[in-house]
Amino acid sequence: MEREELKDKLTEMQYKVACQCGTEPPFQNEYWNNTREGVYLDIISGKPLFLSHHKFKSGSGWPSFYQPFDSDEIVEVVDKSHGMIRTEVRSQTGDAHLGHVFPDGPEPTGLRYCINSASLRFVPKEELESAGLGELQKLF
């Protein structure tokens, strides 16, 4: 999708985060404390990225997951911005900036995917069928 189309489709915050590598405020974003069961999709491509049962309370103020749903859909990039060296995570298909991954998460992976809500769209498990994601219903 072209950047101009995305500006029309996404909110200002979604565009800033997903397309311009921005960061939304902690504890003031849509999914940081979401406890519903369901699937988190890439805001640009609609591809499934994370499942609710891989989400955990990290205390960071952003949704945190210990593993992605489909690791082939997650791209890791070295990020040397802000005087730090971090690992940025982006979506493969949508090329959206998602957030960063850190090695301080829980078992079984020890990873913490710290993700911006603005890069995601959440589909509750009871709406998967109507969203065209019925094949994922078996995961819940």
Structure tokens at 51: 């499942």
Q: Which of 114, 123, 128, 136 is catalytic?
A: 114
Q: What is the 3-state secondary structure (H, E, C) of 10-55?
A: CCHHHHHHHHHCCCCCCCCCCCCCCCCCEEEEECCCCCEEEEHHHE
Residue 19 designated active-site? no
Helix/strand/coil for 63: coil
For residue 123, the SS3 value is: strand
Point out the residues that are catalytic. Answer: 114
